[in-house]
Amino acid sequence: MRKYFPFFLTYKKALILAPLLVIIDVFCEIVQPELMSKIVDTGVGQKNLSYIYQTGGIMVLLSLVAIAANIGNIYYSSHASVGFAAELRKGMFSKIQEFSFSDLDRFSSASLTTRITNDINILQEVIMMSLRLLIRAPLMLLFAVVIAVRINAGLASIIAVAIPVLAITIYVILRRGLPFFEKMQKKLDQVNGVIQENLINVRVIKSFVREDFEERKFSFTNNELRKIAVKASGTVVLIMPVMQLVMNISIVAIVWFGGNKIISGTFQVGQLMSFITYITQILMSLMMLSMTIMAFSRAEASSERVLEILNTKPTIVDSITAKEKNVQVTRGKVEFKNVCFKYHAEGSEYILKNISFTIAPGKTVAIIGATGSAKSTLIQLIPRLYNVSSGNIWIDDMDINDYTLKNLRTGVNLILQQNELFSGTIKQNLKWGNATASDKDIITAAKYAQAHDFIMAFPEQYETVLGQSGVNLSGGQKQRLCIARAILRKPVVLILDDSTSAVDVATEAKIRASFNQYLQKTTTIITAQRISSIQSADQIILLDHGEIIGNGTHGELIKTNTVYHEIYASQQLQKGTVR
């Protein structure tokens, strides 16, 4: 709870005023039945017309005050709760911006999105509710009890019985019912899971003609869901009738005992009427309270998910030395010194083992290996997207930990395998590389990446809107835009992680050629599976299951390295007789 205080700070005033106004409202509301009983007993009983006017006038006046107080309360509590939610969202979003890749891997992006949207919404609703009901219900209960006791302490003992009876019954019903709701939620997830898989697999289902099979599978889970839903709701739905029962029995008791008291002359009809109203009020407040508490317990899960984000300490931050030095990457020399890496500190096996190599500035280096050889992992260490587990990575003869993240990542740009473009125009997207780039720069970069031609083919050209509301690009076109975006950044070290996988071979060759021609001074690191596409690299690093098993030029490796030779042969064999 304390963790949330800072997010409330801006809305202190609203947070204090909202409950105060509730108190006023409750007061105005709760004295009404008593005033009414006085109209009946004193006004009607003594035939005092002016008393009736006066008391009735007060009642109307109090109602008007209550309206004002209520509007005020809602005004302040919506300010406080919505404001709190906004601050919390901002806090969470900033926190996520600080996250490192390993933090991001830990939470899936879908889960992060849900937390920042749904979970915060639920918290907002709970705050809104608390600022009204959580104060109103117990206060109402308390006031009503006090007044009831004051009217007639003897009769009030009925309340003393009714409250615990109702409270215990509600508790028992919820205890029994809520676990069913959890089960129901799980079943519902299962049903949705089946639907989701069905949608994704539609081609498989249709091609194997499994529609009937799927229908049976669905019908089974669907029926299970129905059974558990009936159980869950069927239990909780008892609360209302039970409450009705307790309330009605109390009324019967009041009529009996109260009636007798009136007959013996110690009680009045008006009082009987107001007493019935108070007991209704009390039991209603109790219900309200239990509902609020239920809402709270439901929000607890959301709160935990939100706090989990807020409490995460980002694993990769600028060191103090880095900030003091504030050095830029200039030449592009990259060195790995005995680097070991695993994704989870507690994991048993290293994904990268004792990696050491040096890349001279301006060279083109290929990292080659089969799927699972940890190529992508290795290159992601260079811009410090993950921290090494042991060993060091040096760039321009300085440990990467001594660069600020900003300087390091400005100098070293990585084109990710799973790359993303954002909604906006093509130009806006390319400008991510360099916000101040001129149109000429943008066009040049697009030309290098073989993207210019297809961009110009769109009616809106560079102003073409991408994303949800705009054009859909093919995988290859997306990749080429990502390459252009990276080129615009003019990095000293440029890393491509299988960045042309969806680009056809002919275009890929053209991209390679323009890299050779225009990015001579840039240190370029490329991952690949095919030797043919990286044969001409200055240096080839062969990776196998996280270890370097070869490092040299194509000419050297083909002679000395058996694995390399084997891969080459396997690819050559397929190549056949040409050449």
Partner 1 sequence: MKEQDTNKNKLSISGLPGRHGGISAEKPKNSGQAILRLWKYLSKQKILILVILVLLLINIATTLTGSYLLRPIINKYIIPHNVPGLIDMVFLLFGIYVIGVIAGIFQNRLMIIVAQKTVNMIRADLFNKLQSLPLKFFDTHNHGDLMSRFTNDVDNISDLLNTSVLQLFTSGITLAGIFMLMIYISPLLTLVTLIIVPVMLWVAALIIKKSKAFFTTQQSALGNLNGYVEEMITGQKVVKVFCYEGNTETAFEKLNYDLRNKATQAQLYSGVMMPVIQNLNTINFALTAILGGLLAVLRGFDLGGLAAFLQYSRQFGRPVNEISSQYNNLQAGLAGAERIFEIMDEIPEIADAPDAIVLNTIKGNVQFKNVSFGYDTSKTVLKDISLDVKAGQKIAFVGSTGAGKTTIMNLLPRFYDILSGEITIDGINIQKIKRSSLRRLLAIVLQDTHLFTASVMENIRYGRLAATDEEVIAACTLAGANTFIQQLPKGYHTILKKDGGNLSQGQRQLLNIARATVSKPVILIMDEATSSIDTRTEQTIQKGMDQLMQDRTSFVIAHRLSTVRNADEIIVLENGLITERGNHDALLAKKGKYYDLYNAQFD
Return d(Cα 249, Cα 162) in angstroms, integer: 9
Closer by beta carbon to partner 1, 358 or else 376: 376
3-state secondary structure of 250: helix
* CA-to-CA separations, 388 to 33, 135, 401, in angstroms, rounded: 73, 52, 10
Shortest Å, Cβ 298 to partner 1: 14
Return d(Cα 327, Cα 308) in angstroms, integer: 34
Shortest Å, Cβ 54 to partner 1: 10
Taking alpha carbons only, the member of 316, 411, 363, 283 closest to residue 539 is: 363
Shortest Å, Cβ 82 to partner 1: 5
3-state secondary structure of 431: coil
Shortest Å, Cβ 339 to partner 1: 20
Burial 198-218 (b: 16+ CB within 10 A, else e): beeeeeebeeeeeeeebeeee
* 356 phi, psi to nearest 5 deg: -135, 130
438-447, long-range: CB < 8 A, 24+ apart: 441/488, 442/484, 442/488, 445/484, 445/485, 445/487, 445/488, 446/481, 446/484, 447/514
Pairing of strands 523-528, 364-368: parallel
Shortest Å, Cβ 338 to partner 1: 26
Burial 252-280 (b: 16+ CB within 10 A, else e): ebbeebbeebeeeeebbebbbbbbbbbbb
Taking alpha carbons only, the member of 358, 356, 362, 370 closest to residue 531 is: 370
Shortest Å, Cβ 464 to partner 1: 14
Shortest Å, Cβ 201 to partner 1: 5
Closer by beta carbon to partner 1, 129 or else 360: 129
How big is the CA angle at 351 (ends 348 and 352), to the nearest 5 degrees?
A: 125
Shortest Å, Cβ 76 to partner 1: 10
Closer by beta carbon to partner 1, 53 or else 171: 53
The stretches of 372-438 forming alpha helices (DSSP H) are: 375-381, 405-411, 426-430
**Neighbour tally for 307: CB within 10 Å:** 15
Shortest Å, Cβ 278 to partner 1: 11
Closer by beta carbon to partner 1, 23 or else 360: 23
Taking alpha carbons only, the member of 295, 363, 299 closest to residue 524 is: 363
Closer by beta carbon to partner 1, 219 or else 520: 219
Report CA 15 to chain centroid distance, whole Å: 26
Closer by beta carbon to partner 1, 11 or else 462: 11
Residue 268 CB partners (closer than 8 Å, separation 6+): 37, 40, 41, 45, 262
Return d(Cα 21, Cα 80) in angstroms, integer: 14
Closer by beta carbon to partner 1, 70 or else 551: 70
Reading the block at residue 401, the tokens are: 């930990």
Shortest Å, Cβ 92 to partner 1: 9
Return d(Cα 63, Cα 28) in angstroms, integer: 6
Shortest Å, Cβ 578 to partner 1: 6
3-state secondary structure of 342: coil
Shortest Å, Cβ 447 to partner 1: 19
Shortest Å, Cβ 295 to partner 1: 14
Shortest Å, Cβ 43 to partner 1: 5
How big is the CA angle at 259 (ends 253 and 264), to the nearest 5 degrees?
A: 130
The amino acid occupying position 511 is I
Closer by beta carbon to partner 1, 337 or else 458: 458
